[in-house]
Chains A and B, each alone.
Chain A
Amino acid sequence: AFFNAFEFISSMSSGFDLSSLFENQ
């Protein structure tokens, strides 16, 4: 279960995970 909604968003959001900018290049 998720502790709070922001925790849920930051854990699950692919659009807010900018590591892909580096990994996908």
Chain B
Amino acid sequence: CFCLKKAKQHPGYEDPTTLASETPFTVNEVEALYDLFKKLSSSIIDDGFIHKEEFQLALFRNRSKQNLFADRVFDLFDIKRNGVIEFGEFVRSLSIFHPNAPNEDKMEFAFKLYDLRQTGYIEHEELREMVSAILNESDLEISEDVVESIVDKTMAEADLKGDGKIDKEEWKEFVARNPSILRNMTLPYLKQITLAFPSFVLNSEVQDSDI
């Protein structure tokens, strides 16, 4: 079968039907994502996995650009924590960014992303570190005092229990009051993926309506 053949040839490849059943994607869309995955995973080392340098190259057109948030996203996509992103991990992680994915999943992903040291909390120092990282990558010049006041003000708004850190419950309430902070968690491209990466035209003999 077509899928078994691919699985043999490409380590980490997973059956699109399985991936479609676990995500908001159709089988055709998973096939199209495989086209994108192939491009990304062969840009430096053609081994069927996305390495961090390949991820950086895809995001920034620069394989050695260091970026705190790209690192965090890569680490969260790398569900098995083996240093590379496999096809199944790529599809499952991207599915959270689908316009139809549950908001709960988007909130959870963003929380993990901002919980830099994976303590289960977003701490004052972590928030400060992230704001500083953004300032370093932009041309904005904001004084330390202003940075501190933005961070203090945000912590005061989000940290309802007043213990100096934001837990998941507080995060949910904060996001509910400020929904725009999840804007990066939705990728409109994922609704038209088969147009951008039309592998289904060649590969899929199955109509999504038949599944």
Contacts and interface: CB of A to CB of B under 8 A. Distances in A.
Nearest to A21: B58
Interface string B138-161: 101000000000110110011000
A2 B150 contact: yes
Interface of A: 2-22, 24-25
B130 A9 contact: yes
A21 B59 contact: yes
B36 A13 contact: no
A12 B134 contact: yes
A19 B181 CA distance: 16
B36 A22 contact: yes
Q: Residue among A3, A9, A12, A14 with the most chain B CB within 10 A?
A: A9
B114 A4 contact: no
B180 A19 contact: no
Given A14-B137, A24-B59, A4 B154 contact: yes
A22 B90 CA distance: 13
A23 to B, nearest CB: 8
B203 to A, nearest CB: 18
B67 A15 contact: yes
Contacts of B158: 4
A4 B175 CA distance: 11
A2 to B, nearest CB: 6
Across the A-B interface, the 8 shortest Cβ-Cβ residue pairs:
A15-B70, A15-B69, A15-B67, A5-B154, A16-B69, A6-B181, A22-B189, A4-B154
